[in-house]
Chain A
C-alpha cells in the first residue's frame, strides 16, 4: 500500500506501543543491571581452594610469625600468627602490606638484567642467569688476576649473623677483599657498647615484658624500634584495660611528641643528643640518695669507685665524676629538662620493683651514640638491673654452628692484607666493624675510585645513608655496580648488573635474634608462593657465583644450595638441645620457667627438628638468667666496667703511635681522665656557624612508612595524614613559636638548608615539636620504585651534615644545623 503521512504515523505509534507489551524492554533493563556489575575492567578474583601457610616476615629484623592465606597458588592475605612467640597475633603495617611488594610488577625486577639506559634511569634489558654469572665472575677473576681483589667491595644490608650475610662475608674473604661494609644500625652501637662494658658483644636483651618501669631513652617503641611486633604486643599488655593488670609504666625520653611520647605514661623532652647527660643526671640522684645495688657494685663492677693507677695515684672513678659533673642543676643546663623532674624520674626509677633503662634512636635502622648507650647502661648497673628479671639480661648468643673455617688462596691473602677503605678497626675506630659513611668518603676523596666493582645486597645506601648524599656521589664514581635487590630501588637503578633475589615470601631465610629480645630465638621462613619472577635466592646465587669465579673460591662453598648451608648452622641448635619448635601462647617465652619442668623436645633427630622448624618457623628457648655471676663478664676485670679498660687500652695504644692529644682528637674524645672511658656527655663540635644555621634538623621515623631498604607498600599511603604528605610534598613539623619567627603558617612552603644542601618542604605547625627544631620524616623522597613511591616528598638524609660519633665513628645524624627560608 502507499505510505501516507497518516498511516506512517499510525504504524510508528503502533510499533512503539506494541513493543511495550513484549518482554524486550524488561529483558533489556534487567541485562543493563547485570552489565553494570560485569564491566570487563572490574577484576574478577578467581576462586579456588583456600589454604594457610606459615612463615616468618623478613621485611625487618623483627621476625614476626605470619600466615599467608592462599587461594590456589595466589597469596591473597597476610595475617599474624597467634601461635608465635614474637608477635602473638598482630603484625605491623609494612608486614600487612607485604603482598603488594610481592605482586607489584613495576616495583620488581622480572629477572637478571643489564643496564641499558644511563645510570639512575632504571633502563635495563633482561639477560639469562648464565650470562649474568659470566659477566660478574669474569670481572672478579680479572681483578684477582690483576692482584687487586680489594677493588671488589660489598655493601650488605642483611641482618648481622644471618646465614646470607655470613655467606656474603665468606665470599668476600674467599675472593680476597677486606671491603665488606654494612650500613650502621643500632645493633652496632649495642655490640660495641657491650664489648666495652661487658667484654662481649652479647645480643641486646631487654626484659621488657617483665619490667614494671620502662625508662626509654629515645627508643621509638611505637615507631618501629626493636622487634616491632614484640614491642607493640608488650605495649598492649602494659596498657591492659583491667587496672589490676596494668603494672608497667612507660616513660619516653625524646624531644618530639612522637606516638611513643604521647602514648607513654610520662614524657620527658631533653634536647636531641643529650640523653647521655640525662641518664647520668638520674644516676647522680640515685648515687647521692644511696639508692644503689651495693652488692652488685662491690662484687661485679669495675670503675664505679675511684681507681688507683699502676703508678699508685688515685683517679676519680664513675661515682666521683658523676657527682662532680652531673648534678640535676648541671644536667638541666645541658638537657633543658627541669632539675626537679630529673629528681622525680630518679625516685620513680628506684621505687619501681623491676625498672629498666633502654637505649635507642627511633627505629633500629640507624646507629646511636656509643657514650650515650654506655651512660644508659651505667644507670642500669648502679640500680642493679643487669642480669635481673625485668632488667638487662646477658644471654649467650645462639648456639649456631659456625661455617667451617678456611684459608684464602694467596691471591686473596694478598688482598686481605690491604687496609679497609672505611678505616674500621684501625686505631682511629678501634671497635667499629664497618663505617659506611667513611667508605663513601674514601671513594669521593680519591681522584679515581679505589673500588672497581661494588656488590650491593639487601641495601639501598643511595637512599638510606645519612651523609648528605655522599654515598650517591660515590656510586657515580664506581665503575661497575651489581645489585642483588628484588626491587627497583635507587641503588639498583645505579647498577650495571642486576641479579635479583626472591621476595621474602618466595624464599628460605633465617631470622637471628630479633633486636632487643630477651630470649634465644631463631626464625626460619620458607617459600609460600612460587617465585613470581625469574629470581633466585641470593644465598644460592652467592654459592654459584663463588663456583663460577674459580675452583679456589668455589671450594670454599662445599654446599649444593643455600638450604644446606642453613642446615649446617642449625645443627648447632640441635646439639645445644632444649630448643622448642612449637609455641603455646599460654606459656609466653618471656615468662621465667613457664613450665614446671622443661618439656622434652618434640623431635628426636636433627631432620625432625628441621622439618618442624620449616613448618613452625621457629626455634627458641624460654627466657633464663645468667646462671653464675662468675664468668658472666669477659672484660679485663672480669666485671661490669663503668670505666672501660678495653677502651683505655685502645686509646693508649693509639697514643703511642701518635700522641695522647692527637689520639684523643682523632677519636673525637673531648674530656679527660677516666671520664673518657665511661659513658659521658660532651657537647658536639659542630664546626658550623650557628648564626647562619640557627635551627636543628632532626630526622624522625614512622611505623607506617618503611624507612630503610624495603619499599613502602602502597596501602600504607592511605595511613599517612595530609599534614605529612600532600600530593607530592612532604611536611616538616615545626613548633608554632619557631614558625612564627619566620612567619610561617600551616602548609607554607619553606627551604630547609644545611651546609650539606637544601630541601623544599611544607610546614606542619606542631605544638609537640621542640622549639628550635625542624623534624623531617625518613622514608619519603624516593626517586625509584613506581608511581606509588617516586617523587613523593623529600629525603632528609640528603641534607644531614653528619659528624663522627666519638670513638665509634658512626654518623651523628640526629642534629644537623639548618636555617629556614620561606618560599
Chain B
C-alpha cells in the first residue's frame, strides 16, 4: 500500500511540467481501511438530490496527503482517538444535579450507534431540527440538571468523537424530507450564496473546484462525514460549524456563529450531501 502511494506521487511530480514547487499531492485513489479491518466508504455515487451537480461524492480523506491519510488508518496513530476515549469517560461520569451519567439512560455508546449517521434530525417533540450537540445539550440540561456546553467546546467534541466511533463505517443517512425539508432548503440556499467581498459560495470551492489547488490547499468537497476532525494545524478536535465559520470568514464576509440557525440549516444540508459515505470520525486533516 505504502509503496504504491509513493510511486503515484512520484509519477505525478514527473508529469508536472513546471518548475514551481507543488505540495505533495493526495492519492485520490487510495482506499481507507482502519486498523486493517474496517472498510470506510470514501467514494460513492452522489445521492439523488445532487444529481444535477455531482456524479460522485468523496470524503475529505481522499484529498489529504499520504502521511495524513496514513495517520487515520490506525487508531494508535490517530490523535483524534484520544478525544473519543475522553468522551467514553465523560459518558460514564455523573454530571449535574440529578446525579446521573449518560450511561444511566443509555446502554453504552453502542446503543447510540445510529446517531452520528442520521443527525441533524427533526425532533418532533421540540418541533426543531437538532444537531447532535443540541441533543446532547438537551440531555445535559433537561435530563441531568447539568450546565449546557458551549457549541464546539472540547467536551462537546469529545462526546461527538465517541459517538462517531460508535457509528464508524455506517453510511451517512440524513433525512431531508418531511418537516426537516424547509430547514434543508434554507441550508441549500446558504450553500449557494456568494458571501463576502470575495463573493464566494461553498459551491464555488467545494462543488466546482474540488480536486484543484487554491494556493497550497487541495480543495475537497467539504464533506462533514469525517467530523469531528483532528486538524494537524491546530492540534485538536474541530467541530463542523467552527469549520463553516472559518470558511465563511475566508470570503471576507461577516460570518455566522456556531449554533446559529443559519449554521444548523447549513449543517443539515451539507451532511445530506454526504449521504452514502461512511461515518469516519474522528478523522485526521491538515
Q: Do these two chains interact?
A: no
